[in-house]
Structure 1
């Protein structure tokens, strides 16, 4: 007439990398509806605590906890349908305190009927899953007893158990096994939280004599995270910022991710600059890069390479990290006016000449080639009041091309001075410099009238001998030009 009680007692996995005085966050225990005085509810195991100085306390006056971690009921305790929750604390000489929430869940497998009252009944399926946990990447001797599902060894003599689900007979298989006779759950190999954060399966209990199913309940094994993944950079680390921008200008954002568990320090990333901090800074939490100076000059250095470090555990010394280089390109502004290569020019033009190239004026410009900041534009600001000259830009060489557009008359002027300004297509920006100008002295040569007549006569002789004879033999007034 014994009662069948199913409870969970969690055996911790002892890892060398866990924190001092470690406790699981939660512990679920399946208990009877009425817990009698002296009943051992659970056994709390600690990891890394100093055994001599460790102090265990329970925050519920209905229970006490012994030095070996056994939680004992001091009086009769009734567990309602919603269960009962209390906390257990562990503190050792290090001063660190760890807390665990203990959830008491009423058993969902029905009791045996009294002898002579007929066959066993099936229980209803519970509305919640009862979780336990394992720590990922544990490298120990397998198999490891994970849970002892039956607290009353005498009860298991009349029962056998089956289990099915993830980690058992569905992907990933071969992770867990169950002792058919005792109900002990074993972990068979290390698990990876990033691959499988939890395993869900169902435990069923059967009568050994009749094979009648006594009941079943879902069980979840949660994989506790360890910091086994270094953060990773996301996206290209290539940014652009204008030269001579003000200090505090946003350059770009470094993005990173971490495969460890969200909401933990394992994914809390701190950003730092290993190099480049003389001109740039990075926000430790957001990864936003900004400038710290207004002296960035593309004409001196057009690209800056900085080294960025990302480290989890919020940058703690034991945090995992990664580094990479980010390239910051400086975009061009028109902060350099074109400059002349000479201080002045002298040219000579014969009177009556027109549409003739007189001068090529080269210039230099430090701004980005083939952009509006580099392309030149020339203006004659003095000496061209009558429109005798014009100047254009050679698109291939960026030189100024000075032409005579209208003939000059030596009798009216035998020389003049032009003033030419070199500008850019774009306006000057971010510079106190101004457009430069250069004088061009134009000398006008007189053309002799006789030379002109002789030349004209030679042309006529070549073209028409008859006209030549008429010129020689007749009066000059015969032929009029």
Structure 2
């Protein structure tokens, strides 16, 4: 016969009550009574309460109060003269006592998990006097546990991970269940673990709850997640025990146990020959069943005739191999390339090397397609020279271009006039011969950079460009001249042979061996008595004085013509005039004034003479504005001022 939970609890309760009653589990008073507890006089018989612990089963589900135990004093003769009083925890509210019989009952269902025991006090009183006949005594009612709580996984549900291919017995995670029942009483809180779902892949240790792998070589690529159901059962797993369950989600983490594999043994791609360098030609990808770093790979070209023309790199995000162009393609030179490409894992697990190499090979064929290309010049830059003396129509040089396509279309030439605005040059449309169209001047433009256009006759939209640098060669067509406008002075007190100016020359021409200038005075100036010229033979000349002293009042400016000849072939010459001003100089030879009208008073003229002169000047100026017929002011005052000047003497 099977008992349900409630029936089994009642059975245990009845059995416990029987044991309590038969084993002195109720509180009784065993006394050898001779006299009442309170007597007149000084003597009394010693009394003592001998209390045993009361036990009561929890979770009583009956309708009548639950009998707990009985209090009894040996002075009680059963005649109703003694009454029993109960106080303490739960007195009256949970526990009641029959004051006549001392029987204790529980009026409410008790839960050991809420409160495991109650402490109460008992008294036996004389009903008439209401005085104690026994000393008050304390006792305990202990709630006896029954198995009314199932094990619970407080931390569930669980998630855990374990590397794929782990050996049998690898720990995954530990689960723990708790049971609220009394662990010190019986087996109500003694839990064992078992696995209800998840075999045969995993197992659980019955006592510890440690989950372990149970099958070898579990493959994440085949199945990466498992849902386990773990049971915890109390009563050491015996029949009648209570149980609880939790779920454990176990994820197999990846290890690098799969090499990369190309889905195809060969690939073919067509690309136009006009594709620029660094352009992407193709993307290929080797499949790897692993994930994360275990699926990272690198690509490289290991063989083929495209080495140096193409390169392969890896896209870090997609793990694709990206093939790009390193050199320009030319259909006319080569129409196809073959590449042998390897994909290899970057992070190899040594445990799985026995499975074979963690790499794979594939072949990539690249077909170069022809496109209609513009004409190509035989040189990227043409350098030509022509003399600036060349006549109009002089041939300077020739450019050449051809159609690189198989059709080899004829080419026509022209000059991009944006690079030859003045139209100095012409080009023959068929031959590419460049000639002069107008006179050239090196001093205006020494180098002309022009662009020549080559156009396909069959497809005028296809235009190639060539670049021509035309250097204009110099001829001696510019005479030399002074290097600057000189401001030359000579002191009035200059001595013979004194240097007053050093001159140099410039020439707009640019002779190959540099300039060499020759200086001399012109024929009409060669015999002058004032100045001479000395050629320094270093493209400079020195002007020197020939006589002693100069006076501004006599001549304030001299003009010296200088003849300059260059070393060109034929040589050119020019006459340049040097202007020399006579100046008053200080003791150091520094010019003070070069004004020819200025007059310096003689040395030793007194202050009084200066005042007299000034007065005469002012008077004359004043009289000139007033004219009276009866008095000749102007003539008289002029004579007086002259007299003053003649007879003035130093102080």
Q: TM-score range by the shorter chain?
A: 0.5 to 0.7
User: Does the C-alpha gap of structure 1 residues 198 and 358 become closer, same or farther in structure 2, counting only changes over 3 Å?
Assistant: same
C-alpha distance after superposition, 1:83-134 (max 9, x if no partner): xxxxxxxxxxxxxxxxx9x999998x9984574315989999x9x9852100
1:17 has 2:16 as partner: no
Q: Shift of the alpha carbon at 1:209?
A: 4.6
User: Does the C-alpha gap of structure 1 residues 472 and 193 become closer, same or farther in structure 2, counting only changes over 3 Å?
Assistant: same
Structure with the greater alpha carbon radius of gyration:
2
Looking at structure 2, the residues matched to 349 and 104 of structure 1 have their Cα atoms a distance apart, in angstroms, of 113
Q: Shift of the alpha carbon at 1:306?
A: 2.5
Looking at structure 2, the residues matched to 19 and 240 of structure 1 have their Cα atoms a distance apart, in angstroms, of 47
Looking at structure 1, the residues matched to 372 and 262 of structure 2 have their Cα atoms a distance apart, in angstroms, of 36
Q: Shift of the alpha carbon at 1:274?
A: 2.2
Looking at structure 2, the residues matched to 455 and 361 of structure 1 have their Cα atoms a distance apart, in angstroms, of 35
Would the aligned equivalents of 1:303 and 1:329 in 2 still touch at CA under 8 Å? yes
Residue 149 of structure 1 aligns with which residue? 71
Looking at structure 2, the residues matched to 430 and 181 of structure 1 have their Cα atoms a distance apart, in angstroms, of 85
Q: Shift of the alpha carbon at 1:442?
A: 5.0
Would the aligned equivalents of 1:419 and 1:438 in 2 still touch at CA under 8 Å? yes
Looking at structure 2, the residues matched to 389 and 238 of structure 1 have their Cα atoms a distance apart, in angstroms, of 49
Looking at structure 1, the residues matched to 102 and 27 of structure 2 have their Cα atoms a distance apart, in angstroms, of 21
1:217 has 2:137 as partner: yes
1:284 has 2:203 as partner: no
Q: Shift of the alpha carbon at 1:176?
A: 0.6
User: Does the C-alpha gap of structure 1 residues 144 and 342 become closer, same or farther in structure 2, counting only changes over 3 Å?
Assistant: closer
Residue 117 of structure 1 aligns with which residue? 41
1:439 has 2:363 as partner: yes
Looking at structure 2, the residues matched to 408 and 238 of structure 1 have their Cα atoms a distance apart, in angstroms, of 57
Would the aligned equivalents of 1:122 and 1:215 in 2 still touch at CA under 8 Å? no
Q: Shift of the alpha carbon at 1:318?
A: 1.7
TM-score norm. by structure 2 comes to 0.51
Which one of the candidate residues 427, 433, 448 is aligned to 1:471?
Answer: 427
Would the aligned equivalents of 2:415 and 2:426 in 1 still touch at CA under 8 Å? no
C-alpha distance after superposition, 1:4-46 (max 9, x if no partner): xxxxxxxxx9964329976888x6xxxxxxxxxxxxxxx516x
Looking at structure 1, the residues matched to 28 and 320 of structure 2 have their Cα atoms a distance apart, in angstroms, of 89
Would the aligned equivalents of 2:58 and 2:144 in 1 still touch at CA under 8 Å? yes
| Correspondences of 1:2-401 after superposition (within 5 Å) | 16-18=10-12, 44=22, 112=36, 115-117=39-41, 130-152=52-74, 153-154=76-77, 159-168=82-91, 174-213=93-132, 214-235=134-155, 236-263=157-184, 264-347=186-269, 350=273, 354-368=277-291, 371-382=292-303, 387-395=308-316, 397-401=318-322
Any idea what SS the aligned residue of 1:390 has? strand
User: Does the C-alpha gap of structure 1 residues 359 and 293 become closer, same or farther in structure 2, counting only changes over 3 Å?
Assistant: same
Would the aligned equivalents of 2:272 and 2:371 in 1 still touch at CA under 8 Å? no
Q: Shift of the alpha carbon at 1:362?
A: 3.0
Looking at structure 1, the residues matched to 42 and 117 of structure 2 have their Cα atoms a distance apart, in angstroms, of 40
Residue 418 of structure 1 aligns with which residue? 339
Would the aligned equivalents of 1:355 and 1:403 in 2 still touch at CA under 8 Å? yes
Q: Shift of the alpha carbon at 1:216?
A: 1.6
Residue 40 of structure 1 aligns with which residue? none
Q: Shift of the alpha carbon at 1:202?
A: 1.8
User: Does the C-alpha gap of structure 1 residues 120 and 424 become closer, same or farther in structure 2, counting only changes over 3 Å?
Assistant: farther
Any idea what SS the aligned residue of 2:428 has? helix
Unaligned runs of 5+ in 1: 1-12, 28-42, 46-70, 72-99
User: Does the C-alpha gap of structure 1 residues 148 and 377 become closer, same or farther in structure 2, counting only changes over 3 Å?
Assistant: same
Looking at structure 2, the residues matched to 313 and 427 of structure 1 have their Cα atoms a distance apart, in angstroms, of 50
Q: Shift of the alpha carbon at 1:265?
A: 0.9
Any idea what SS the aligned residue of 1:17 has? helix
Q: Shift of the alpha carbon at 1:192?
A: 1.7
Q: Shift of the alpha carbon at 1:361?
A: 1.0
What is the number of residues matched between the two proteins?
390
Alignment RMSD, CA only? 4.5
Any idea what SS the aligned residue of 2:376 has? helix
Pick 1 or 2: higher relative contact order, CA cutoff 8 A, min separation 6: 1
User: Does the C-alpha gap of structure 1 residues 326 and 199 become closer, same or farther in structure 2, counting only changes over 3 Å?
Assistant: same
Looking at structure 2, the residues matched to 105 and 367 of structure 1 have their Cα atoms a distance apart, in angstroms, of 81
Q: Shift of the alpha carbon at 1:382?
A: 3.8
Would the aligned equivalents of 1:388 and 1:406 in 2 still touch at CA under 8 Å? yes
Any idea what SS the aligned residue of 1:318 has? coil
Looking at structure 2, the residues matched to 449 and 136 of structure 1 have their Cα atoms a distance apart, in angstroms, of 101
Would the aligned equivalents of 1:351 and 1:444 in 2 still touch at CA under 8 Å? no
Unaligned runs of 5+ in 2: 1-6, 378-401, 405-410, 437-449, 451-467, 470-651
Looking at structure 2, the residues matched to 110 and 388 of structure 1 have their Cα atoms a distance apart, in angstroms, of 126
Any idea what SS the aligned residue of 2:295 has? coil
Would the aligned equivalents of 2:173 and 2:210 in 1 still touch at CA under 8 Å? yes
Would the aligned equivalents of 1:159 and 1:205 in 2 still touch at CA under 8 Å? yes
Q: Shift of the alpha carbon at 1:446?
A: 9.5
C-alpha distance after superposition, 1:175-197 (max 9, x if no partner): 21122344332222331222222
Would the aligned equivalents of 1:361 and 1:401 in 2 still touch at CA under 8 Å? yes
Q: Shift of the alpha carbon at 1:461?
A: 6.1
Residue 30 of structure 1 aligns with which residue? none
Any idea what SS the aligned residue of 1:319 has? coil
Residue 51 of structure 1 aligns with which residue? none
Would the aligned equivalents of 1:193 and 1:225 in 2 still touch at CA under 8 Å? yes
Would the aligned equivalents of 1:372 and 1:424 in 2 still touch at CA under 8 Å? no
User: Does the C-alpha gap of structure 1 residues 191 and 449 become closer, same or farther in structure 2, counting only changes over 3 Å?
Assistant: closer
C-alpha distance after superposition, 1:147-169 (max 9, x if no partner): 22114332885543332222225
Any idea what SS the aligned residue of 2:293 has? coil
Any idea what SS the aligned residue of 1:18 has? helix
Q: Shift of the alpha carbon at 1:261?
A: 1.1
Looking at structure 1, the residues matched to 138 and 315 of structure 2 have their Cα atoms a distance apart, in angstroms, of 84
